[in-house]
């Protein structure tokens, strides 16, 4: 009998081209999100995600054209999550929409999930508005912001004046959260940073 080489006896079995639950895309997104939140956006790679869910990395190309597409899909999950947090804040206030709950939700999300937040806002700007995998999720947050800053005398739709109020508010809250994450905003701890940021936004 011919003896098999030791390497052949101990080699890992080849990876499957299909996930045993039948949802490679869903499993890949879950694994990718976990990697980003655990180790930051730079940890994301096709091979690492494939290894995490037990498939050959080539199987991911059936669901994502490249790493950029995978990154956009993870970012879309982030914006969907942010929209849910904002809506929950509105619901807790009795279903109305106002800047206070929106700011609270945004600051909580940014400071409690910094790696995902960094990935979400590290994407080329054109993709926020036009990419089919990302733009609808970004639009959810934009619509909620529009509700929060709408005034009684605003015309129907997303007027220029309403857009400008939303953009100003977004710039303020995003900038303050970014200052904290970069260490330029000094606070005793995260809780104190949140309180300080929200106090500034309320002025």
pLDDT of residue 58: 84
Q: How far apart are CA 16 and CA 90, in angstroms?
A: 45
Mean pLDDT of 121-148: 94
* 166 confidence band (pLDDT: 50, 70, 90): very high
Give which of 91, 79, 94 is closest to 140, Cα–Cα.
79
Task: Read off the pTM.
Answer: 0.85
Side-chain-facing half-sphere of 123: CA atoms under 13 Å? 27
Q: Tell me which residue of 114, 111, 93 sits closest to 102, measured CA to CA.
A: 93
- Residue listed under structure tokens 């905003």: 185
| Residue closest to 29 by CA, chosen among 112, 126, 137, 125 | 137
Q: Which of 50-64, 99-113, 170-184 has the lowest mean pLDDT?
A: 50-64
pLDDT tens for each residue of 23-41: 899 999 999 999 999 999 9
In the beta sheet, which residues pair with residue 55? 16
């Amino acid at each position: 009998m011919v003896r098999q080489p030791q390497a052949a006896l101990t080699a890992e079995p080849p990876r499957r081209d299909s996930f045993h639950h039948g949802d490679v895309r869903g499993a890949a997104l879950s694994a990718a999100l976990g990697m980003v939140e655990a180790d930051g956006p730079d940890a994301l790679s096709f091979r690492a995600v494939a290894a995490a869910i037990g498939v050959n990395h080539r199987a991911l190309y059936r669901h994502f054209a490249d790493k950029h597409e995978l990154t956009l899909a993870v970012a879309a999950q982030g914006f969907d999550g942010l929209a849910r947090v904002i809506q929950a804040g509105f619901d807790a206030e009795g279903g109305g929409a106002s800047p206070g709950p929106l700011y609270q939700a945004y600051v909580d999300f940014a400071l409690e999930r910094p790696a995902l937040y960094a990935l979400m806002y590290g994407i080329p700007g054109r993709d926020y508005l036009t990419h089919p995998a990302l733009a609808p999720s970004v639009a959810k947050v934009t619509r909620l912001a529009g509700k929060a800053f709408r005034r009684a005398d605003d015309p129907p739709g997303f007027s220029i004046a309403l857009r400008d109020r939303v953009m100003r508010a977004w710039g303020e809250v995003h900038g303050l959260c970014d200052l904290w994450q970069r260490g330029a905003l000094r606070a005793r701890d995260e809780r104190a940073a949140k309180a300080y940021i929200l106090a500034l936004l309320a002025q």
